[in-house]
A = this chain, B = another copy of it.
Amino acid sequence: MPAVTFLPSNAVIEAESGETILDAARRAGLSVEVPCGGKGICKKCIVQVISGDIVREDNPLMDKSMLDDGYAMACRTLIPNTSDVRVRLLSDVENEHGVFSEQSEDMASIDSAILPSKDDLEPMVKLLSITPVVPIAGDGLSDYDRLLNAFSEALVEITNADPLHPEIKIDLPIRLLRSLPELIRSSPSLNVAYFVDGAKIRVIDIQPILFDAENTAIPRLGIALDIGTTTVAMRLVDLATGNILAFKTDYNGQIACGLDVISRINYASKPERLEELRTKILATINELIESLCQEADASPAFIYDMTIAANTTMVHLFMGIPPEYIRLDPYVPTVYDVPFYTAADLGINICPDAVVLIAPSVGSYVGGDITAGLLCTSLAHDSEDIYLFLDIGTNGELILGNNEFLMGCACSAGPAFEGGGITQGMRASTGAIEHVDVDKNTGEATYNVIGGKKPKGICGSGMISLVSNLIRTGWIDFAGQLERDRPSASIEINGRSASYIIEPKEDIRVVVSESDIQNIIRAKAAIFSACYLLLKNIGMGFADLKGMVIAGGFGRYLDFDDAATIGLLPKLKADQVHFLGNTSVSGAHFALVSARHRRLLNETAKRITYIDLSTDLGYMDEYSAALFLPHTDASLFN
C-alpha cells in the first residue's frame, strides 16, 4: 500500500485500502478538525496535496482554483493504491494546543468565594479505622468474617444505630478479597475507605495503619472534572480538607472528530467511532490525572472519588452510550441521572473501585455542567430575586429562576463564537485577532492579536468587536450588509456579496465575509431569542431580572457594550452582571466535597423544567426577529 507523508510534521503512515486522507491522518495520530463530522461541508479539513495520486469526491464547495492549486478536503478524498502521497495539513490544532494551556488564567486564579465552605465538608467516600479480632484457631471466623465484623461494629458505633440491618449488604471488591490475607496480617488496625449508597455499602479500599508512621490517616483524594465539548478542566482535591492540590485544563481529545455536540453525535453513529470518541476523552482525562498527581506528588491509587460535570452528549460519549437519540425526535437521551459506576467500569486510571458521580442532566442540551454550575450561585436555592444564568459555549445553556422555580433551555449558538464556521475563524489562542477598531471615515481596521504576533485568523470576541464597531461607525447596515455606496479600501465587493479586509498584506491576509458575519448574527440571534423567549414564557422581560450570571470560557473575554451593540445580550448595569468563569468544574468540586451540595444538585436537577426550543412554535419567530443588528426591536438594547 502507498505511504502517506503529512507535512509539516513529516509523519508517515501506510495507507489502508480505500482510506480517506482524514482517516490516514488520524491513524498517524494527527489532529484534524472536522466540525461538520466529516460530511464535506465545513472545509476545516482542507489539505494541500504536494505529490501523488488522490481521488476527490465531487464537491460544489471546492471551486476550480482551489482544485487547481491541489487543495482537497481530507474527509472526502481517497488514497488509491497507485503511488505514495505527500500532503500538507493546513489546520494547526497541535500548535494551538500548548498555547491554550498557557493562557488558562481563569484557572490560575480560582475565586475562593465560590469554593465550598469547610463547614460543608462531607465527601461521599468515608474512612473508618478498624481493629479486627486476631485469628484464633477454631473460632470459625475467616479473615473476611473478621474484617466484616470489625467494620460493621465500627459503622454501628459512628451512627449510634442498632446492629446493621441484615438486608444491608457490604460489597467487597474481589481485588480486596484477594489481597485480604496479607493485608489483615500486615497491621493490627486497618483503614477502610467506603461509600454508602442507600442500603448498599461498598468498600473502596483497605490500607494498613502503620503505627510507626507520623500520620495514621491514609491520603484520601478526589477529582472534580468538567468535560466540556472543547475544554476539559480538572481539580485534584484533598478530601480530608477540601483543598485543591493541583488543577489543570486541556483540550478535549475528541475535538479532532467534530467541534460541536451535533458533529460528535454524527461522528459517533458507528460503534467503532463511538469507541474512538470514548477512548479519546478517556486519554485526555487519564493524562490530566497523571499530570496533576505528579504535580501534587500524589498517587492515583488514593483517588477514591470523582465528580464529573458535563453536557448530556459528553456524558453519553464518555460512558460509551450511543448518543444518537439525543438529537432525534422525540429527543429522549439514554440517561439523565447516571447511577454510580466505578472508575474501573469507566476506564479511569485511579483506585479501580473509586466512586464516580456524574451530575444529572435535565434535557438533551441542558446537562450536568449546568446543574453542577448552579451550585456556584445562590440563584436556585437562596434567592427570591429572579436571575438568568447563561453558560455560553458551543451551545448556549440558560436557566431562569429563583428559589421557587427554575426553567432551562438551550440553543445551538454553533461554533461561531469559538471560531467555527468562520472562513478564517479560530479559537481565542495565539495569533487570533481578538479586537478590531474601525475608522469612521476610511472604514479601515486596526486590531489586536492574542500573543501580539502575526494574525492567523479571528476568534469569536474578535468577530463581536468587529461587527459592533462596524455598526458604530456605520459601515454595516442592520441586516449585516457591508456598506457598498461609500468606497473603502477595506471593503471588497464581488458581485452580490462583499468582504471586509482586516489585514490586506498577502502573507497574513485576514478577511471576513458577509457570510461569516451572518454566522455571528445567527449565533447571537439564537442566544438572545432563547433568553427572550424563556423570559416571555413567564410573562417577563429583561427589566424584571435582578441580574445575569455569565458562565463559561467565552464569557470572560466578552465586552458587554459590544454584546449589546450587536444584540447578543440586553444592556445591563455592571452590578447586574456576575462572571463566574468555569462554573461546571467548580460545581463538580462542590459536589465532590459536600453532602449538602450533592443533595442540592439532585434537588435542583429535579426542579428544572426543561423547555425544548426546537419544539417551541414561537422560537423561529423570535429567532427571525433577532437576525438583525441589533434586532428588529432596537428598543430592547437601549
Contact = CB atoms under 8 A, between A and B. Distances in A.
Interface of A: 135-138, 140-146, 165-172, 174, 177-178, 180-182, 185, 197-200, 319-322, 324-325, 329-339, 341, 345-346, 362-363, 610, 612, 615
24 contacts: A135-B330, A137-B330, A137-B331, A138-B610, A140-B336, A140-B362, A140-B610, A141-B332, A143-B325, A144-B334, A144-B336, A144-B338, A145-B337, A146-B332, A166-B198, A168-B199, A169-B198, A169-B200, A172-B339, A178-B319, A178-B321, A178-B322, A182-B322, A199-B200
A170 B339 CA distance: 9
A143 B178 contact: no
Contacts of A180: 321, 334-335
Given A319-B177, A322-B181, A612-B137, A335 B200 contact: no
A146 B337 CA distance: 12
Contact of A171 (B137, B170, B339, B363): B339
Given A198-B167, A330-B136, A332-B137, A181 B144 contact: no
Given A137-B615, A181-B324, 18 more contacts: A137-B331, A140-B363, A142-B332, A142-B333, A142-B335, A143-B335, A144-B334, A145-B337, A146-B332, A177-B334, A177-B335, A180-B334, A180-B335, A181-B334, A198-B199, A199-B199, A199-B200, A200-B200
Contact of A199 (B144, B169, B615): B169
A320 to B, nearest CB: 5
Contacts of A332: 135-137, 141-143, 146
B144 A335 contact: yes
Contacts of A330: 135-138
B199 A167 contact: yes
A166 B197 CA distance: 11
A138 B614 CA distance: 11
Q: Is the interface of A mostly helix, strand, loop or mixed?
A: loop
A321 B172 CA distance: 13
Contacts of A136: 330, 332
A173 to B, nearest CB: 8
A183 to B, nearest CB: 10
Contacts of A168: 198-199
A334 B143 contact: yes
A405 to B, nearest CB: 15
Contacts of A346: 174
A361 to B, nearest CB: 8
Nearest to A316: B181
Nearest to A347: B174
B200 A329 contact: no
A501 B198 CA distance: 71
A303 to B, nearest CB: 19
A182 B140 CA distance: 49
Contacts of A138: 330, 610, 612, 615
A185 B334 CA distance: 11
Contact of A320 (B178, B198, B341, B362): B178
Contacts of A325: 135, 143, 181, 185
Contacts of A174: 319-320, 341, 345-346
A586 to B, nearest CB: 25
Nearest to A278: B178
Nearest to A342: B174
The 5 closest A-B pairs by CB, nearest first: A199-B199, A137-B330, A135-B332, A167-B198, A143-B334
A369 B180 CA distance: 23
A364 to B, nearest CB: 9
Contacts of A329: 137
A517 B344 CA distance: 55
A180 B631 CA distance: 44
Contacts of A339: 144, 169-172
A369 to B, nearest CB: 17
A345 B353 CA distance: 13
Contacts of A143: 325, 332-335
Contact of A321 (B181, B334, B615): B181
Contacts of A362: 140
A159 to B, nearest CB: 14
A336 B185 CA distance: 17
A586 B180 CA distance: 31
A197 B169 contact: yes
A140 B136 CA distance: 57
A185 B345 CA distance: 24
Most buried by B among A199, A334, A335, A337: A334
A496 to B, nearest CB: 40
A197 B168 CA distance: 9
A185 B177 CA distance: 39
Contacts of A338: 144
Nearest to A605: B140
